[in-house]
Amino acid sequence: MHVIASFHYSTYIEIALAELEQQGIDRKRLIAVPLETRPSGRTLVDTMYRSDGESLIDAGMALGAAVSVVTASLGMTLAWGPVYWGLIGAAGGFTVGFLIDWSLTRRRRRRSARKKGGEVVLVVDCEPHQADRVADTLWRHQALGVAVVS
């Protein structure tokens, strides 16, 4: 039988492996495969086919729209008129919103890169009478998911 489990990369998987060896499962019957994480960069614009809900222009668009309304209404009394001042306000608001979103994203990405590790998939080849005990051991040591395959 095969017991397959996934873990966040941490010391819990090392403890689980040591306990499985103490239970009599040979080291040659244990396979731990670390998964590589894909570098996650935010895209400039979300598309219909690939959307994670986080793009760099969201705040820029919202701030650009708000500032353009205010500057267009103020442009009624200014020399260039409401159209030019609305466009100037839209460009300025978009730029400020984009820079705010970009700086917050850089800060978040640095923090998450330090904390975030990959995942590890553990495959245990065991006898049918050991499968329940192996699964219980893996659950006790913070497994994300466990499957028993005969």
Give 37 or 7, the one with higher predicted confidence: 7
Q: How confident is the model at residue 46 (pLDDT cuts 50, 70, 90)?
A: low
| pTM of the shown model | 0.53
Instruction: Give yes or no for residue 116 having a pLDDT over 70.
Output: no
**What pLDDT does 87 receive?**
95
d(CA 149, CA 15): 23
Could you count the other beta carbons within 10 Å of the beta carbon of residue 28?
7
Mean pLDDT of 60-69: 93
Among 126, 117, 119, 114, which Cα is nearest to 150's? 126
Instruction: Give yes or no for residue 67 having a pLDDT over 90.
Output: yes
Instruction: Give yes or no for residue 26 having a pLDDT over 80.
Output: yes
d(CA 18, CA 32): 13
Task: Confirm if 73 and 83 have CB atoms less than 8 A apart.
Answer: no
Q: Which amino acid is at 85?
A: W
Contacts of 40 (CB under 8 A, 6+ apart): none
Instruction: Give yes or no for residue 133 having a pLDDT over 80.
Output: yes
Instruction: Give yes or no for residue 111 having a pLDDT over 80.
Output: no
